[in-house]
Amino acid sequence: MSLQLPSTTPINDLVKIIDNLPATTPKTNIKSISPILTQALQNSQTYSFSPLLTHPNVVAAKAAATTSSSSSESQRLLSALALVEIFESQSTVQFTSSTQSLPQLNTIMQRKLEILSLIRLAASSSREVPYQTIASACLFEQQTPDSHVSSVESLVLDALSLTILTGKLNQKAQIFKSDLHKTLSAEGVGSFGNENEVGTMLEKLRNVKARGENCLKELDKLAASNPGEGGGGWGAEVDKFRESCLRSGEEGGQRGVKRKGE
């Protein structure tokens, strides 16, 4: 059964909450920031955590917590930050092998880290990722052979259902063939420099899609409010422009895929 990650507070809203914390009292902010970081880890739309990790208020609170690490609130913040850093650039293996005191992962967070581990493999590999490699990165290999194959396929299907990864499973060859590079190129986002940039690239991809959808919505509103006489006027011109945008997007996507395949 496919696990559905719940949508919670969007990352931009979490950043705004941190924006409103008093910058002059980093010690006071220690207690406030920990639950915000946990919220981000459970947000199904958040795969890049750098806006939180690099936020001046978070950086200042981390420094304050480091100097008073004996307090329980400071320890809680430092543990939460260490966990966010693993989600930002590492994998399930690094979480398990970490010597730091980290919060326990609930079911949602565990699955999300596995999905991020899979995406980083897809981004850094030659686009064909063996089941065994995925199983090793997510520690499925500790299961029986049949179980870890089932776990790998379930993980890939979860990632595909969330539309944050594209590709196909080859069950006979036990390989996942990723189209992630093609998808990013078609959207004009670019390609990965390394696997640690996965979150940033996914965030950019989502932003590109969101901007395009918002633009089309505004054009539809404009066409509806200014139809002109007999259905002509602005409405007709907007319709032409809208169709032109759609055609340009499709052609750009085809060119991008072609370039990556050459």
- Average pLDDT of the residues in 78-107: 87
**Cα–Cα distance measured from residue 155 to residue 134, given in angstroms and rounded to the nearest whole number:** 9
pTM, 2 dp: 0.64
Does the pLDDT value for residue 46 go beyond 90?
no
| H or E element, residue 217 | helix 198-225
Which pLDDT does position 194 carry in this prediction? 45
CB 95, CB 53: distance < 8 Å? no
The pLDDT, as a whole number, for residue 257 is 34
Strands 175-178 and 167-170: antiparallel
Kindly tell me if the per-residue pLDDT of 251 is higher than 50: no
pLDDT score, position 233: 54
Helix or strand run (H / E) with residue 129: strand 128-130
Q: CA 179, CA 168: separation in Å to the nearest integer?
A: 8
pLDDT in tens, 144-176: 777 888 999 999 998 888 766 788 899 999 999
